[in-house]
Structures are given as C-alpha cells and as structure tokens.
C-alpha cells in the first residue's frame, strides 16, 4: 500500500540528502546555478507525487536529475545556453585562471563531454553505481553504459598522459601550448 | 600514478566540495506548483495579452518575499500595465561602460572604458585605452562564432562554438540577488567576482558581457530585463528613491538596500522600466558606471554587433590573442594557468599578470 507522507517528511529527507544530490546535479550541469535549478525542478516533480510516493526518494531524484539533464530540461532556453557553454568549457562561475591540476583538468573535460557520456561517468564514479544500476537510471542498455564510460575515460587518459608528459618537461606547471 | 577513475572521483569531490543545497526547496516547490495551478486556471479564459499580464502578477506577487508588501505589489501591477502599454523599446542594448578599479589586487587604481552592444545571441565589446583607442574588440556573431581582435599585438582569433555566456540564473521571477557581479576594468576582460565564488578567486570576464550590475545577460529581451528590475523592487532588493533627469530625460532612481555589500543605483525609464544608467560600487574599490541606450534593430545598428578585423592583422590561436590581454589585468598576481578552448580540445598556458601600456594605472604614464 502506498504511504501517505507529509511535506515535513520530504523536508527531513532533503535536509539529509539534498547536499549530496546538489553535488550530483552540479556535476551533471557544470555550474552551481544550473545544478540548483535542476535539483529544484526534480524536487517539484517529487513533491507532486510525494503524498502517495512509495519508493526510494533519493533514487527517484537521482533518476529525475539525469533524465532532466539528458533530455527534457535541455528544452528550456536557459539550459540550452548553459549547455553550449559546457560544450566549450567556458563557464562563468568557474575560475579559469585558478591553479590547475590534473584533477581539475579532468573535471573540466568531464563537463565538456556529451551530456549522456557525462551522466554515465557521474553515476559510475561519483555515485559509485554499477553499470547495471546506471543503465537502469538512464534507461539504456548496460552495453551502452559501458561503451559511453570507456569512451569518456579514454579521453581522460589521453589528457592525463599529455599532462604528465608536459608536467615532466615543464617542472609540473601544466600543459603548455 | 593513480588510476584515472580515482583522480576523476577526487576531482569531482573537490569541484563540489563547498556546495550546500539552498534551504526551503520544498517551500519553493510548493509555491511554484500553486502558481502553475493558478495560471492554468486563468489561461484559458483570457486573451494573449491579458494572460501575459496576469502571469506577471501571479509570478511576482506571491514571491514578494522578505521585502514585499501589498503596496509594492500594487505598484508592480501598475508598472506592468505601463510597460505593456508603452511604446516598444529597441532590442539592441548599447552601453558605454566606465570602470574605476582601486587596487583590488594590491595595485594602483585603473580607469577603463568600454563600449558594448548586445542583441539576442549576438554581442560585442570594445575595450578602449585612456586616450580612446581600442585595445581589443571581442564579440560573438551568428552561429556562436567568437572573434577577438587584439589591437596592441595586431592579432586576431576566431573560435566557433563559444557563443554567449549563460544568463545568470536569477532575477526575472525570484527574489534572489539581482547583481551578477561587478564587471572589472575595460568592462570585459577583467576579474568579476561572482556570488558564491570562493573568497579571493576571480573569473576573467572574457566571454561575459551583460548588463552591468544587473543579474541578466544583455541578450535578455528588454521585457525580461524590465521585469527583473520590477521584481527586484517588489522583493525589496531595490527601492524607488525618486525621480531624476539622466541625460535630459526623466528617470526613476532605484537604489540597493543600505548596507548592501555591493551598492547599486539604477535609473530606469519610467515608461518601460528599462535601465538607462547603472552605477555599481563594491567594497573592493571597483566602481562602474554604465550608460545604456536601447536601439532599434536597423541595419546600421545591427552592423555595430560585428567585430571588424583590420587589414594586416595576423590570425593566431585564441589563447595567443588572449594571453597578452590577461597579462595586462591590473594587480600583481602569481602566475596562473589559463585554459581556453581550441579546435582540438583545450589549450593551457602559464601567464602572469602585469601592467601593460593600454590599461595604465592612474598616476603612471
């Protein structure tokens, strides 16, 4: 039988898990503002069915975040603008002159990947889900998750290899053009 | 060396480390749901214009938040009516921006000027030297092709796909802060602290044109900009301070709350509520003045959006056109790594900022 949940229950749940979900949303979108928008939209969707919601709210929100990021949410004009920036790696809320190390470079590269590939890597390596769980969330075959993940990682390995070569050559100062 | 998966995980951890979800998400979700239901109930029975007017009221009145009041709401409704009845303003925002930056990074004060134009997804910004000569000219044309001309090095670069920066995600229908951040020297290629940024960090504002001091990209339609200002008034983040004449035209003066970290005064046209002048000052010593004209999209006006490449200038990679400009940013900064998109991925280079000939600090030749 479906539970009859109160809004206070949802607030309690969000107080506990919203920070983590926001981090997922930000990794999916590339900026704090877009991540907050995305999470807010997902919470609204959950709220609509909350009273009779019978399931794992975190799983539902995570799935909604991914679906919105990879599909419907991009229809919004604001999202299109952000997405274009993500593709080019230029993001207003990001410090491009900040100290860059390989980890930062990897995240920047992550944010430039196609949104579905990015979602796979976020779910696999941030949420630490299995290929099967990732496939279930994204509504695709496990093989698709594996290939998208390995393509993304391959690009990152290339970057890491360039990075270490250049760092060795330039005393660890990063890649020179 | 660590596995790439571990490095990526650490990078993601670090990238999101300081994030905290905003409070009141459930309340906001409920508010939006109620608004949506209210709008749905009236939409079918109204004409397009009437529906639009109701929508504006429905969005703004419940969201009045901390500073909202019935009086403010009534004033907003009246202004909405005025705006809807006003003559259609021009769509191209033309701005003359003067910025005085006082030692944000420990250096002496720098005054710079820039001219900016924005229309839909297209924009252009020309940063001028103290004697009025262009230092660099940048902009994004149709199909998001970004062009940068560096007059000092007589070089230029073009990079497809850069497009326009995202419009800040606040302002139009929420009571979140209106300010997008203070544009730095030259109105374009300088640090602009953004809300939520870690202290001491800054972002180059290359690729970041926009209506200065207003949390909206200049690409926003005039109606959206006007609505953002009205919302700011209804929320109490800006207050009507009276009427004044700006360049011979009557304008309504809006001021930020006393004691605000960033002080802002916006003069708007009473009929359209579009900004005609913005003055923003921050505690870090940056003061920006922007005079804004709204132009009709005629052929001569649209031509102002194109970045001309002078004959004889040499084409270089984007990063090679950018670096000399970054090196002129005011203040003494430690060498940083700058990464920019390039045809094959991104290119990074170490740079250190120092004063150059163009952006001369005050009191120095």
Q: Do B8 and A94 touch (CB under 8 A)?
A: no
For residue A87, the model assigns a pLDDT of: 33
ipTM for the assembly: 0.78
* Band of pLDDT at residue B198, cut at 50, 70 and 90: very low
Domains and CATH numbers, chain A: 1-92 (no CATH), 95-177 (1.10.10.10)
CA distances from B50 to A20, A148, B35, B318 (A): 42, 48, 16, 48
Average pLDDT score over residue span B301-324: 87
CB B146 within 8 A of CB B162: yes
Residues A95 and A92: their CA atoms lie apart, in Å, by 8
Whether A174 has its CB under 8 Å from any CB of chain B: the answer is: yes
Q: Where are the beta strands (DSSP E) in chain B?
A: 92-101, 110-119, 122-128, 134-140, 145-150, 155-160, 238-246, 249-256, 262-268, 275-282, 286-295, 314-315, 336-342, 345-351
For residue B352, the model assigns a pLDDT of: 52
Distance to chain A for B80, nearest Cα, Å: 23
Q: If we measure between CA atoms, which residue out of A57, A56, A34, A37 comes closest to residue A47?
A: A57
B201 vs A contacts (CB less than 8 Å)? 95, 98
pLDDT tens for A25-51 read 989 887 787 788 889 888 988 988 888
Gap between the terminal Cα atoms of chain B: 50
B123 vs A contacts (CB less than 8 Å)? none
For residue B107, the model assigns a pLDDT of: 52
Residue B348 has its nearest CB partner, among A14, A27, A175, at A175
A107 vs B contacts (CB less than 8 Å)? 8, 11-12, 14-15
pLDDT tens for B64-79 read 232 322 222 222 223 3
Helices marked H in chain B = 4-15, 25-43, 48-60, 70-85, 222-235, 299-303, 318-326
Q: Which residues contact B163 (CB under 8 A, 6 or more apart)?
A: A81, A84, A85, A88, B121, B140, B144, B146
Residue of A nearest to B341 (CA): A88
Model confidence, pTM: 0.44
Residue of B nearest to A28 (CA): B12
Q: Do A18 and B163 touch (CB under 8 A)?
A: no
For residue B232, the model assigns a pLDDT of: 77
Q: Which residues contact B364 (CB under 8 A, 6 or more apart)?
A: B108, B355
pLDDT tens for B120-132 read 667 788 888 777 7
Residue of A nearest to B26 (CA): A11
Q: If we measure between CA atoms, which residue out of B211, B204, B166, B169 comes closest to residue B188?
A: B204
Distance to chain B for A54, nearest Cα, Å: 18
Burial grade of B182 (CB within 10 A; 0-12, 13-18, 19 or more) = buried
Average pLDDT score over residue span B83-92: 45
Number of cross-chain residue pairs from A and B with Cβ atoms under 8 Å apart: 188
* Band of pLDDT at residue B343, cut at 50, 70 and 90: low
CATH class of B92-303: mainly beta
Whether A97 has its CB under 8 Å from any CB of chain B: the answer is: yes
Residues lower than pLDDT 50 in chain A: 1, 72-100, 167-177
Whether A167 has its CB under 8 Å from any CB of chain B: the answer is: no
pLDDT tens for B216-247 read 444 456 666 777 778 778 877 788 998 888 88
Residues A159 and B80: their CA atoms lie apart, in Å, by 52
Residue A80's CB is within 10 A of a number of other CB atoms, namely 14
* Band of pLDDT at residue B192, cut at 50, 70 and 90: very low
For residue A61, the model assigns a pLDDT of: 93
Q: If we measure between CA atoms, which residue out of B221, B116, B224 comes closest to residue B170?
A: B224
* Band of pLDDT at residue B280, cut at 50, 70 and 90: confident
């Amino acid at each position: 039988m479906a539970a009859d949940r109160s809004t206070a229950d949802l607030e309690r749940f969000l107080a506990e898990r919203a920070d983590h979900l926001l981090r997922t949303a930000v990794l999916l979108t590339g900026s704090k503002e877009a991540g907050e928008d995305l999470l807010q939209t997902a919470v609204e969707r959950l709220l609509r069915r909350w009273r009779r919601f019978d399931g794992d709210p975190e799983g539902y929100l995570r799935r909604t975040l991914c679906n919105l990021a990879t599909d419907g949410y991009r229809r919004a004009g604001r999202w299109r603008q952000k997405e274009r920036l993500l593709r080019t790696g230029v993001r207003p809320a990001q410090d491009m002159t900040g100290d860059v190390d390989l980890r930062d470079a990897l995240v920047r590269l992550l944010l430039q990947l196609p949104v579905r590939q990015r979602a796979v890597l976020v779910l696999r390596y941030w949420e630490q889900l299995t290929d099967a769980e990732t496939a279930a969330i994204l509504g695709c075959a496990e093989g698709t998750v594996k290939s998208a993940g390995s393509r993304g990682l391959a690009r990152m390995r290339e970057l890491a290899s360039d990075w270490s070569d250049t760092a060795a050559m330039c005393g660890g100062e990063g890649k020179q053009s | 060396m660590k596995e790439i998966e571990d490095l990526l995980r650490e990078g993601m951890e670090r990238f999101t480390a300081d994030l905290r979800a905003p409070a009141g998400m459930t309340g906001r979700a409920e508010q939006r749901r109620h608004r949506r239901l209210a709008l749905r109930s009236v939409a079918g029975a109204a004409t397009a214009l009437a529906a639009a007017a109701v929508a504006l009221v429905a969005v703004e009145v419940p969201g009045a938040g901390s500073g909202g009041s019935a009086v403010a709401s009534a004033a907003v409704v009246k202004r909405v009516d005025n705006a809807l009845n006003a003559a259609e303003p021009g769509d191209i925002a033309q701005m003359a921006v003067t910025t005085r930056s006082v030692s944000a990074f420990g250096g002496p004060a720098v005054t710079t000027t820039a001219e900016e134009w924005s229309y839909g997804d297209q924009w252009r910004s020309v940063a001028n030297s103290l004697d009025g000569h262009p230092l660099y000219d940048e902009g994004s044309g149709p199909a998001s092709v970004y062009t940068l001309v560096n007059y000092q090095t007589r070089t230029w670069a073009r990079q497809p796909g850069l497009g326009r920066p995202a419009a800040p995600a606040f302002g139009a229908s929420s009571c979140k802060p209106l300010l997008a951040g203070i544009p730095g020297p030259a109105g374009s290629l300088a640090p602009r602290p953004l809300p939520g940024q870690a202290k001491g960090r800054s972002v180059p504002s290359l690729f970041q044109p926009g209506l200065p001091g207003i949390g909206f990209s200049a690409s926003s339609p005039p109606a959206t900009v006007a609505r953002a200002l009205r919302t700011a008034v209804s929320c109490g983040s800006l207050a009507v301070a009276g009427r004044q004449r700006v360049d011979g035209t009557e304008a309504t003066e809006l001021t930020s709350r006393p004691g605000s970290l960033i002080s802002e005064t916006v003069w708007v046209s009473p009929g359209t509520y579009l900004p005609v002048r913005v003055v923003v000052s921050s505690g870090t010593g940056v003061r920006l003045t922007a005079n804004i004209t709204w132009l009709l999209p005629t052929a001569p006006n649209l031509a102002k959006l194109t970045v001309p490449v002078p004959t004889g200038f040499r084409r270089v990679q984007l990063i090679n056109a950018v670096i000399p400009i970054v090196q002129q940013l005011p203040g003494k900064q430690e060498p940083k790594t700058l990464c920019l998109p390039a045809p094959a991925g991104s290119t990074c280079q170490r740079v250190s900022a120092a004063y150059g000939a163009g952006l001369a600090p005050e009191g120095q030749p």
